[in-house]
Structure 1
Amino acid sequence: MNVTPDDVTLATELVVEAAALAARIRAEDDLQTRSKTSVSDIVTAADYAAEARIVEHLDRERPEDGLLGEEGTSREGTSGRRWVIDPVDGTYNFASGFDYWCSAIALADGDRPLLGAVAHHATGTVVVGGPGVPTTINGRPVSPIEDAAVSQLGVATYAHPAFIVDHPGFAAWRRAAALPATIRMLGSGSMDLVGVATGRLGCWFQHSTPDWDWLPGTALVLGAGGVTERVEVDGLVWSVAGPPTGVGQIVDALQGDAA
């Protein structure tokens, strides 16, 4: 299943417009924030408005494609393709006034990413790419991801306090988190994966990652020459992205093998 130049243009326009809309709503102090699963898992009026804007465009431009959005959009398509939408990724950062957030979208064939686009409004940065579309940042090709051992890399991840305290899967996380040169917990999966694709971060790993947090950034990493892998350990599905050696070592550590 191919990605067309029109798909690339559309994905770029969608995330830029969604991010601009979300930023405008935040500037107008009209977020209307509420919690979902925890104090740090929140949704705002900007999330809903940005998703609705994207869906409105896709209904008109790609009516045959399926849709899946973090804030409730779900539609089966007839083309075999689907658009996966995260209107504001890093909502806790967004609502707190931090700028480590983005709007993200992926075009996928089932669970296989074809294209990803991520807009970081604060810097005017748009990163677009996929397995058949070399990743670019504001239209410029990114440098290919170089292979490296995880011990030489900065790695982004996340561990919720409740996960650290009493979840049996924390042992796997601890094994993997002990390997890198340093770890970062920054609060936006798509922004972290942009960091991997553009060389600011070495690897990324996280458990229980929904498609809207995984597919946009995965496409960018693949388009930059990196690899991605998913593995189940102790009932949790872990998602890992980065250079081949680093990803392999993280997967081994999660599974309890020697790194």
Structure 2
Amino acid sequence: MTGTVGRVIDHRHQLSSLALSDAELAAQLVTQAGTLAAQMLAAGLTVDTKTSISDVVSDADKAAESMIVAALALARPDDGVLGEEGAAAPGRRSWVIDPVDGTYNFVSGLPAWCSALALLDGEDLLLGAIFQPTTNELWVGGKGLPVTLNGVQVAPLLDRPLHEVAFSTYLHPPRLVDPHLLNPILAVLQQSATVRMIGSGSVELAAIAAGRLGLWLHADTHPWDWLPGAALVRAAGGVAEVFEHGGHSWHAAGPATAVAQAQQLVLAT
């Protein structure tokens, strides 16, 4: 553990985590990871590209993931981990880690980024936790656990049709040449109230759970970009589903009616 990480989560914090519930532990870890990332951003970062100029990773991503993995090794030693920055260990239960979701926004000075965690028991999605430092918003929710925002329960998600809601997606320029990706998204867009592309899947899905956005539809989403927010949407009374079409896995979340209408439109293209 580096000195920077040690200043954010010391030995006493690690020992106290042993007595926490899974939801409390997740909330603590995403808050500490987001705080660490914000501190490192203020101090200056090294940033590298991964697959493209917009797919970036920073020292903060790596340090925050290392901090979470170290804390889980102490608090939940029998659990596995899967992290965006390479952490991997087997376990019947597994923590899925996105230390900084929306890294392009993060390094560019845009406020839409967060730290996120999900907990799986086999294929069963138990909970999600998301912390957005720029707005000081901590979201927690999951199976049998109503969604809370900074400790206050969020109102249940209202069922709404597609034409009444804002549609959130992402269009990665190199993939726009694939009609099996572009045409379904355009079909859904034409039937929705408006569109928003924020650049952080977990920030967007937390907004879906709160009713701020209406429908989330992305293709071929990584588990760390999907699972934390999907847990929140389900806990808020919405649906979060994955279906196959055109050689792609489509991830849809939101009110049941809007999701069903979007799926029909995708399957019809």
TM class, shorter-chain normalised?
A: over 0.9
1: distance between equivalents of 2:254 and 2:181? Answer: 22
> Which among 214, 218, 221 is matched to residue 206 of structure 1?
218
How many Å separate the matches in 1 of 2:63 and 2:200?
A: 19
Pairs within 5 Å for 1:156-167: 156-167=168-179
Unaligned 5+ segments in structure 1 are none
- Provide the residue aligned with 2:6 in structure 1: none
Alignment partner of 1:134 is 2:119: no
SS at match of 1:56: helix
**Given the alignment, which residue of 96, 114, 122 partners 1:84?**
96
Distance in 2, Cα, partners of 1:182 & 1:236: 24
Which of 224, 249, 261 is 1:249 aligned to? 261
State the partner residue of 2:108.
96
**Cα deviation, residue 179, structure 1:** 1.6
- Once the two structures are superposed, residues 161-190 of structure 1 have per-residue CA deviations (whole angstroms, 9 ceiling, x without a partner) of 122234542222221222210010110000
- How many residue pairs end up in the alignment? 251
Task: Indicate whether 1:15 and 2:30 are aligned.
Answer: yes
2:83 is aligned with 1:69: yes
Aligned to 1:176: 188
Q: For 1:47-98, what per-residue CA distance to the aligned partner results, in whole angstroms no more than 9, with x for missing partners?
A: 0000000001000000101100000000002xx2100000000000000011
Identity of aligned pairs, percent? 47
Q: Following the alignment from structure 1 to structure 2, what is the Cα–Cα distance between the partners of residues 153 and 121?
A: 26
**Is 1:26 aligned with 2:50?**
no
- Map 1:179-190 to 2 at 5 A: 179-190=191-202
Compare the two structures and name the one with the higher helix fraction: 2
- With the length of structure 1 as denominator, give the TM-score of the two structures: 0.94
Matched, 1:218 2:233: no
How far 1:112 moved relative to its partner?
A: 2.8
> Which residue, out of 98, 115, 128, partners 2:127?
115
Once the 2 structures are TM-superposed, how far is the Cα of residue 134 of structure 1 from its aligned partner? 0.5
Shift of 1:131: 2.3
Q: Is the CA contact (8 Å cut-off) linking 1:175 and 1:256 kept in structure 2?
A: no
* CA positional deviation for 1:129: 0.1
Q: CA deviation at 1:203?
A: 1.1
Asked whether 1:231 is paired with 2:243, we answer yes
Q: Deviations over 1:117-157 (max 9, x none)?
A: 00010121100001211000001010110001010000110
3-state SS, counterpart of residue 191 of structure 2: coil
- Structure 2's unaligned 5+ residue stretches are 1-18
Question: Counterpart amino acid of 2:145?
Answer: V
Match in the other structure for 1:38: 52
**1:54 and 2:60 matched:** no
Q: SS at 1:122's partner residue? A: coil
What is residue 21 of structure 2 aligned with on the other side? 6
Match 1:106 to one of 93, 96, 118: 118
> Secondary structure at the residue paired with 1:222?
helix
